[in-house]
A and B are shown apart, each in its own frame.
Chain A
Amino acid sequence: MPLIDLANPHRFLALARWLVPVFALLAAVLLVAGFALGFRAPPDYQQGDTVRIMYVHVPAAWLALGIYVMLAVAALGTLVWRHPLADVAAKAAAPIGAVFCLICLVTGALWGRPMWGAYWVWDARLTSMLVLFLLYLGILALWRAIEDPGTAGRAAAVLALVGVVNVPIVKFSVDWWNTLHQPAAVFRLDGPAIHPSLLWPLLTCALGFLALVLALHLAAMRNEILRRRVRTLRLLATAEAR
């Protein structure tokens, strides 16, 4: 189905109606399997059992970044191609990305305390992740502050595109600066540096969280379409009453 066909809200709602439960079910199966594998895996030789926080922390970090990239692409869709669903997709994605970013920060702090002796350090990875969270909050604030969805969508799109410069900073912060945070261990040119007994549960959990994000995003987009329909009908009713 071409992307432009989804510009029709009827078609999108029909697609979302069966995709949301499919992704939700997939998420439940993969997360149960991933956590079961993860809690049966042996503890890390250095970090012990705290390595199990990785099964939430790492997918949350990947998704917080991935959702922001998607949001930036949707911002281009709003500003350049004016695709009718682009700012609906962006508005629906922002709170989901913010929650995953918050999960990454909180679980990171709870992992950092026993391993580093501190909940927080101002190193490049942690600080750039905090900036990502603040960008999400800024985008959400713009959506709430401006009443007209079109104007709010364009303002949020500009902020999203400006903020996308932070994405490579988050990714490469551990290479560009000396950080307490460990370097990349999965997406490396020379292959993953994690033992398969820890890697497979991690990838299963990551796929499970991805399926959850897809289900939540489609459901939130459906809500936004309905919200706009309610707004239009109320404006119509007010105009007809005059």
Chain B
Amino acid sequence: MNLGPHATFILAAYGAAALALLSLVLWVWIDYRAQRRALDALDAQGITRRSARAETGR
């Protein structure tokens, strides 16, 4: 596809937007993994919410 004489600007705009959005998606996903890991580690140490303790009798 021919984007004319200003193709560099058009491609740079789309590239910058894609990079920013990809970073945002990646950050949300990495943050989710980190929080889940932290919760699992606490759970493994027997540190759980009161509601969970009532359910398991711990």
Contact = CB atoms under 8 A, between A and B. Distances in A.
Interface of A: 39, 43, 48-50, 52-53, 56-57, 60, 95-96, 99, 102-103, 106-107, 110-111, 113-114, 212, 216, 219-220, 222-223, 226-227, 229-230, 232-234, 236-237
A233 B49 contact: yes
Q: Is the interface of B mostly helix, strand, loop or mixed?
A: helix
A43 B10 CA distance: 13
B39 A236 contact: no
B25 A216 contact: yes
B26 to A, nearest CB: 11
B45 interface: yes
Interface residues of B, number: 32
Given A212-B21, A216-B24, A230-B39, 20 more contacts: A49-B3, A49-B4, A49-B6, A52-B3, A95-B24, A96-B24, A99-B24, A103-B21, A106-B13, A107-B13, A110-B16, A111-B13, A114-B9, A216-B25, A226-B36, A230-B35, A230-B38, A233-B39, A234-B42, A236-B47
A111 B49 CA distance: 52
Contacts of B32: 219, 222-223, 226
B20 A103 contact: yes
A57 B13 CA distance: 8
B35 A53 contact: no
Given A60-B17, A103-B20, A111-B13, A226 B35 contact: yes
Nearest to A31: B21
Contacts of A111: 9, 13
Nearest to B43: A233
A52 B48 CA distance: 52
In this complex, which of A48, A103, A212 has the most chain B Cβ atoms within 10 angstroms of its Cβ? A103
Contacts of A106: 13, 16-17, 20
A56 B35 contact: no
Contact of A110 (B12, B21, B45, B48): B12
Contacts of A212: 21
A223 B28 contact: yes
Contacts of A103: 16-17, 20-21
